[in-house]
A and B are shown apart, each in its own frame.
Chain A
């Protein structure tokens, strides 16, 4: 197993996630059932001596599920490029795509005129003069199309309820940003925010320990995927303050479904935060050790 702990052997892993039925996207809100994998990962009973100095920490990431809102400059740039594209593009082959005089063609022509006028300005996209009979038929068709248009789809707003009340426990908050999981833990009669972490047991590989500790800290009602068998970072604490672990290897994981269930005794609370929100909750030394592993946006 340890010989396999090279990254090239990690590759089929991402493919194997697609082997099960759920090939395509799955909503974050779905409940993850505690599968058989969780029982395998439970620490085996017996004489396992935990290693005192090496610890494993997991950076659990909720990746963005909304597209980023482009900046004002980007929007202006795109609008300008759209104008150039419209001015240069080949004529649209109406007769190839539409039956002559069909409702859809009328609708498309009307929309196209509107877009033309929108992008290039007034003389473009205005209706050419027609004979009276033609214009009558045209207006009849357009009114029919308008009747079609009334059934419009409702667009789900970008900001949900979690954004309005700033619910840091919700996974639906800040859909366009990367969120990371922090846990509020008891240590020496004070409460500190930390990434999920745990100690390395004897004879255990680092990435196995990452999966085990993640389940131990966050509960089994969460569907996660630890990205690689290589750690993404190392944090060496100068003092023993906060934890007994002096070296922490960080692993990256993604949350696919479910939610954290703090056990209440060791882990008191949890929060899904952006990098910028995290700074005020972490102590300064820890923050300087971990900040470069996180995505700015």
Chain B
């Protein structure tokens, strides 16, 4: 019954404007909410923040780039692939001679020889996340030197720990050293900061990068690709990750930081890793093609 008036209203003369704001007061909470240790109310369901606005770059990817990338990276294969060759076992695990010896694969490491998956509509190269990372040498002497880069990354990404109600959102993380480097580092010393971006925020970051930062860099023509003669069987070329580096001068070109550049104690360079779903041989080239479509320029010397 309650649905009937709504239908009648919708069928009436078309209303030109409608408000997205609630026009009435929210209903009263009859049963009091539980409170946590700090006395704050706990909502009855988990609250997440999802997309708050349409993303221009993401639309561009799905409306134009994805089709083009599929056509560009398509490899025609007639029939199913042959199963991998059975290589005779060199070591018999039951043999007491070879039992606990190192069992290296026949033909050396196969890490860089991983074949690309069969091309299909659902494995077109796509960005999974973008990681911004910086190492601060001065942080080894005084860890307060990390505060500037952490603030920079907060301003760049807008990410906070558990932000938007997501426990997977880790915000800006401090990178700690792993092992001892003679006279300089000890394990667990804070030496840098990193932040992961996903979804619309990731695409917004890329559009800021390509529209405000890269065009204003001095004496810059594009990111240099390795020579075409370089063999592409390295682990990095099959991983589908493209990494670029920005000099400290680039930090002041981000509009989020430009407004109050004086508030930062210094300027810091950064590495940006674009992590895609591409894998197997030629994955890095696919990732570069994707970034090229997102207006990140590459050059070959």
Q: A23-B297, A121-B25 are known contacts. Are A15 and B72 too (CB-CB below 8 A)?
A: no
Scan A1-36; emit 1 where CB is below 8 A from any B CB, else 0: 000001110111011111100011100000000000
Determine how close the nearest CB of chain A comes to the CB of B290; give it in whole angstroms.
Answer: 9
Instruction: Choose among A12, A24, A121, A230 the residue that contacts B215 (Cβ–Cβ < 8 A).
Output: A24
Q: Smallest CB-CB separation from B284: which chain A residue? A: A11
Of A66-74, A146-154, A184-192, A239-247, the segment with at least 4 beta carbons within 8 Å of chain B is A66-74
Residues of chain A lying within 8 A (CB to CB) of residue B260: 96-98
Instruction: Choose among A15, A68, A81 the residue that contacts B51 (Cβ–Cβ < 8 A).
Output: A81
**Residue pair A11, B72 in contact (C-beta under 8 Å):** yes
**Residue pair A178, B63 in contact (C-beta under 8 Å):** yes
**Residue pair B63, A297 in contact (C-beta under 8 Å):** yes
**Residue pair B75, A15 in contact (C-beta under 8 Å):** no
What's the Cα separation between A6 and B211 when bound, in Å?
32
Q: A15-B225, A74-B54 are known contacts. Are A7 and B73 too (CB-CB below 8 A)?
A: yes
**Residue pair B54, A14 in contact (C-beta under 8 Å):** no
Q: Smallest CB-CB separation from A119: which chain B residue? A: B21
**Residue pair A227, B225 in contact (C-beta under 8 Å):** no
Max chain B Cβ within 10 angstroms of own Cβ: one of A6, A81, A90: A81
**Residue pair A88, B47 in contact (C-beta under 8 Å):** yes
Determine how close the nearest CB of chain B comes to the CB of A78; give it in whole angstroms.
Answer: 6
**Residue pair A67, B52 in contact (C-beta under 8 Å):** no
Instruction: Choose among B47, B48, B300 the residue that contacts A15 (Cβ–Cβ < 8 A).
Output: B300
**Residue pair A84, B289 in contact (C-beta under 8 Å):** no
**Residue pair A78, B25 in contact (C-beta under 8 Å):** no
**Residue pair B21, A11 in contact (C-beta under 8 Å):** no
What's the Cα separation between A206 and B151 when bound, in Å?
54
What's the Cα separation between A225 and B254 when bound, in Å?
32
Residues of chain A lying within 8 A (CB to CB) of residue B286: 11
**Residue pair A18, B20 in contact (C-beta under 8 Å):** no
Residues of chain B lying within 8 A (CB to CB) of residue A79: 20-21
**Residue pair B52, A85 in contact (C-beta under 8 Å):** yes
Residues of chain B lying within 8 A (CB to CB) of residue A17: 292
Residues of chain A lying within 8 A (CB to CB) of residue B48: 84
Is A205 among interface residues, defined by CB-CB distance under 8 A? no
Scan B96-136; emit 1 where CB is below 8 A from any A CB, else 0: 00000000000000000000000000000000000000000
**Residue pair B297, A7 in contact (C-beta under 8 Å):** no
Interface residues on A, range: 35 or more
Residues of chain B lying within 8 A (CB to CB) of residue A70: 54
Max chain B Cβ within 10 angstroms of own Cβ: one of A15, A16, A121: A15
**Residue pair A8, B47 in contact (C-beta under 8 Å):** no
Q: Smallest CB-CB separation from A104: which chain B residue? A: B259
**Residue pair B68, A227 in contact (C-beta under 8 Å):** yes
Residues of chain A lying within 8 A (CB to CB) of residue B25: 121
Within 8 A of A (CB), among B69-91: 71-76
What's the Cα separation between A19 and B223 when bound, in Å?
10
Is A281 among interface residues, defined by CB-CB distance under 8 A? no
What's the Cα separation between A121 and B282 when bound, in Å?
53
Determine how close the nearest CB of chain A comes to the CB of B210; give it in whole angstroms.
Answer: 8
Instruction: Choose among A11, A76, A97, A98 the residue that contacts B288 (Cβ–Cβ < 8 A).
Output: A11
Instruction: Choose among B59, B72, B165, B259 the residue that contacts A227 (Cβ–Cβ < 8 A).
Output: B72
Determine how close the nearest CB of chain A comes to the CB of B266; give it in whole angstroms.
Answer: 16
Max chain A Cβ within 10 angstroms of own Cβ: one of B52, B73, B151, B263: B52
Is B167 among interface residues, defined by CB-CB distance under 8 A? no
Residues of chain A lying within 8 A (CB to CB) of residue B54: 67-68, 70, 74, 78
**Residue pair B215, A23 in contact (C-beta under 8 Å):** yes
Is B9 among interface residues, defined by CB-CB distance under 8 A? no
Within 8 A of A (CB), among B243-301: 259-260, 263, 282, 285-286, 288-289, 292-293, 295, 297-300
Is B228 among interface residues, defined by CB-CB distance under 8 A? yes
**Residue pair A8, B75 in contact (C-beta under 8 Å):** yes
Within 8 A of B (CB), among A84-124: 84-85, 88, 90, 96-98, 118-119, 121
Q: A78-B53, A84-B49, A85-B164 are known contacts. Are A67 and B295 too (CB-CB below 8 A)?
A: no
Is B160 among interface residues, defined by CB-CB distance under 8 A? yes
Please name 21 pairs of A and B residues whose Cβ atoms are closer than 8 Å in the assembled complex, sorted by A.
Answer: A8-B75, A11-B72, A11-B282, A11-B286, A12-B228, A14-B72, A14-B293, A18-B292, A23-B215, A23-B297, A63-B63, A67-B56, A72-B18, A78-B54, A79-B21, A81-B49, A81-B52, A84-B48, A97-B259, A232-B71, A252-B71
Chain B interface residues toward A at CB < 8 A:
18, 20-22, 25-26, 47-54, 56, 59, 63-64, 67-68, 71-76, 151, 160, 164-165, 210-211, 215, 221-222, 225, 228, 259-260, 263, 282, 285-286, 288-289, 292-293, 295, 297-300
6 other A-B residue contacts (CB within 8 Å) besides A8-B282, A14-B292, A15-B299: A11-B286, A18-B298, A67-B56, A75-B20, A84-B49, A227-B71
